[in-house]
Amino acid sequence: MSVRTPTKAVQAMSQGWPLVTDLLGGTDAMRAAGKQYLPQWPNEADDAYKARLRTATLFPAFARTVDVLGGKPFSKPLTLSDDIPARIRDWCNDIDLQGRDLHAFAASMCQMALAYGLSGILVDYPRVSGLKTAAAERASGARPYFVEIPAASILGWRSERVNGVEELTQIRFLETIAEPDGPFGDTEIEQVRVLYPGRWEIWREDQSKPGEDKWVLVEEGTTTLPKVPFVPVYGKRAGFMRGQPPLMELAHLNVEHWQSKSDQQTILHVARVPILFAKGLGDSEIILGGSSAVQGDGPNADLKYVEHSGQAIEAGRMSLLDLEDRMRQIGAELLVIKPGNTTVAQTLADNEPGMCALQRIIQDMEHALDRALGLMAEWVGEKMAGTVSIYQDFGVSNLAEGSLNLLHGMAAGGKLSDETLFREAQRRGVIRPDVSWDDEKKRMQQDTKPAAAAS
């Protein structure tokens, strides 16, 4: 087995990841996937299919739901406990040495966990040489930092139970580095990093034997940390280092919408282009225009436009609306807390069964960040690392309220009109049925007019 080959556990877990990646990539990615998500109809000409694929557009329900749900816990800044050492608190302002603070880093990790079901935090330390003391190392600016490891990069792992806790004894993941190529260019090189307690290895493909999938050890070293500095972050935990995308059913429904919307666009095109039907005209010349006339040769002669009745169009429109409503409900389910609980204090007091799914995900995220900060503290000999708290008071009492929150997020992101948001709120009973959109729009315009200057 090659060092590059994913284990069976990873292969089984990753079956839905390509679909997630394409949905997050939007219309361009879905078009590029072609027949994988938009099958060619029986007897459909290749040119007709290509035209249909080129005009298909994606309703971004999955991507927007991940964005909105992932943003809710980070609508307020996360907080650090008072016992976090001063230098680690300072490092949290640039936690990944790429300008992101801990809040932005955690928000990105949350979105990836929601989308793929698993991601990870590598607590890395830059390699330094020639420094003989800890003081010299600190003066050089070397310090531990976080690296976000996407789910798709994980190739495999080994673990064992130590003092009753499952601990990693090995993890492999794929990474891409850029090396200079000439005076201006860069060459991307794919390599596999293998981590063990207290040591590491770098493997690269043997370029002298292309196509043989032969990988060779090119670099190795030791660390002062007697454990694997990797922390998993779960969306929906299925076991140690195993996660499931909590919104996978939404992803499948989004593909169904992609296909149904393409059908709807096709039938609309057919309906909008009437067909001229001629009967019994013989060799009469047909000239179309306001000042032209066509003369028939017999009593049964006929000339007319044949148009679609429109019934299938309405059925298709309603089917799309139903799909969109079901997708909103699936996203909203992650926000619904136990009946009777309306605040985070109540759900926490009621223990985990009373929480909404997103609150459980965020609690797991807090624990992962705490562990990662603990690894950072161990790297530099700190006795404690403190804890992180993330905002969790975002649960809702029912699906209608949860789906309305998602709609509001879509409107704020420019993916939904104000009128549609108004009508959806009215449909959920939030706005009285006797209030019209036209009247409300006038009130909104009046409210935004500048006050008249005092005389």
Beta bridge mates, 237: 243
pLDDT given for residue 297 in this prediction:
64
Q: Return the residue matching tokens 């370029």.
A: 207
pLDDT given for residue 342 in this prediction:
47
Residue 345 located in a structural domain: yes
What the block records as the tokens of 137 is 């190392």
Residue 43 located in a structural domain: no
pLDDT given for residue 208 in this prediction:
76
Domains in the chain: how many in total? Answer: 1
Residue 148 located in a structural domain: yes
Inter-residue contact 74 to 103 (CB < 8 Å)? yes
List b or e across 117-152, with b for residues whose CB sees 16 or more CB atoms inside 10 angstroms. bbbbbbbbbeeeeeeeeeeebeeeebbbbbbbbbbb
Residue 286 located in a structural domain: no
What would the DSSP string read from start to end of 30-82? HHHHGGGTSPPPTT--HHHHHHHHHH-----HHHHHHHHHHHGGGSS--EE-T
Residue range 283-287: mean pLDDT, rounded? 62
Residue 343 located in a structural domain: yes
How far is C-alpha 450 from the geometric centre of its chain's CA atoms? 41
Helices (H), 196-286: 248-272
Residue 319 located in a structural domain: no
pLDDT tens for residues 310-333? 566 676 678 888 888 888 888 888
Rg (CA), the chain: 29
Q: Does position 347 have pLDDT exceeding 50, yes or no?
A: no
Residue 117 located in a structural domain: yes
The residue among 147, 82, 69, 74 whose CA lies nearest residue 114 is 69
Q: What percent of the chain has pLDDT over 70?
A: 78
Residue 14 located in a structural domain: no
Instruction: Report the 10 Å Cβ neighbour count for 294.
Output: 13
Helices (H), 72-177: 86-91, 102-116, 134-139
Q: Return the residue matching tokens 């990797």.
A: 230
pLDDT tens for residues 365-422? 999 999 999 999 999 999 999 999 999 877 665 556 666 777 777 787 777 788 888 8
Measured CA angle at 342 (ends 117, 401), to 5 deg: 70
pLDDT tens for residues 409-435? 778 777 778 888 888 777 766 787 778
Instruction: Report which listed range, 76-80, 179-183, 427-431, is most confident.
Output: 76-80
437 confidence band (pLDDT: 50, 70, 90): confident
| Domain extent for 164 | 59-247+337-389
pLDDT given for residue 156 in this prediction:
96
